[in-house]
Chains A and B, each alone.
Chain A
Amino acid sequence: DAEITQSPRHKITETGRQVTLACHQTWNHNNMFWYRQDLGHGLRLIHYSYGVQDTNKGEVSDGYSVSRSNTEDLPLTLESAASSQTSVYFCASSESVAMGADTQYFGPGTRLTVL
Chain B
Amino acid sequence: QKEVEQDPGPLSVPEGAIVSLNCTYSNSAFQYFMWYRQYSRKGPELLMYTYSSGNKEDGRFTAQVDKSSKYISLFIRDSQPSDSATYLCAMSRGSNYQLIWGAGTKLIIKP
Decide if B28 is an interface residue (CB 8 Å cutoff). no
Bound state CA distance, A106 and B34, in angstroms?
A: 14
Please tell me which one of the listed residues A40, A41, A48, A98 contacts residue B98 in the complex, with CB atoms under 8 A apart. A48
Residue-wise, chain A 34-71 has the 8 Å CB interface mask toward B (1 for contact) of 00000111111100100000000010000000000000
Q: Give the number of residue pairs across the A-B interface with Cβ within 8 Å.
A: 58
Q: Is B51 a contact of A107 with CB atoms below 8 Å?
A: no
Contact with A along B17-50 (1 / 0, CB 8 A): 0000000000000011010000001111110010
* Min CB–CB distance A88 → chain B (angstroms): 9
Which of A45, A97, A103, A108 interacts with B43 by CB under 8 Å?
Answer: A108
Q: Chain B's interface: helix, strand, loop or mixed, by majority?
A: loop
A44–B2 Cα gap in the complex (Å)? Answer: 12
Whether the pair B103, A100 counts as a contact (CB closer than 8 A) is: no
How many angstroms between the C-alpha atoms of A96 and B49 in the bound complex?
Answer: 16
- A109 and B51 in contact, given A100-B32, A100-B95, A102-B95 (Cβ under 8 angstroms): no
What are the residues of chain B within 8 A of A104 when measuring CB–CB? 44, 46, 99
Is the CB–CB distance between A42 and B43 below 8 Å?
A: no
Residues A103 and B95 in contact, CB atoms below 8 Å apart: no
The answer to whether A101 has its CB under 8 Å from any CB of chain B is yes
On A, residues with C-beta under 8 Å from B are 39-45, 48, 58, 90, 92, 96-109
